């Protein structure tokens, strides 16, 4: 594995996991306040690991052929982003820090 790719995937995993403030319409509800710093560190670490795993899985499914130029490396960042979001959301849902938006128990269809 190339150390530059590992660094890119780790960076994408670290930056791809914060609360989605980039979403423009309609704005999501605010995060629970206060977000404990230990939870943020855990989420960032899990996101980084998810980015590394997502980038590695992407390169196994779609191998990089030829030299490592930007056209070959940039799509692997998409795999890293998907991996980091998936793993961090899985952690948030499993610990109860984020609730699903499905039907409540007392709601009817």
- pLDDT category of residue 32 using cuts at 50, 70 and 90: low
Q: pTM here?
A: 0.72
pLDDT digits (tens, 9 = 90+) for 48-84: 999 999 999 999 999 888 888 888 888 899 999 999 9
Domain that holds residue 62: 3-17+33-95
Domain presence at residue 62: yes
Number of folded domains that form the chain:
1
The rounded distance, in Å, linking the Cα atoms of 73 and 55 is 10
Residues 6+ apart with CB under 8 A from 11: 51
| 109: in domain | no
């Amino acid at each position: 594995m190339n150390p530059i790719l590992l660094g890119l995937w780790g960076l994408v995993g670290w930056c791809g996991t914060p609360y989605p403030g980039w979403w423009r319409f309609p704005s999501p509800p605010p995060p629970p306040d206060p977000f404990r710093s230990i939870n943020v560190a855990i989420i960032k670490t899990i996101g980084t690991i998810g980015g590394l795993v997502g980038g590695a899985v992407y390169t196994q499914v779609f191998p990089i052929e030829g030299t490592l130029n930007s056209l070959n490396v940039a799509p692997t960042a998409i795999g890293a982003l998907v991996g980091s979001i998936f793993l961090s959301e899985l952690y948030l849902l499993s610990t109860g820090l984020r609730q699903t938006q499905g039907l409540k128990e007392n709601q009817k269809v």
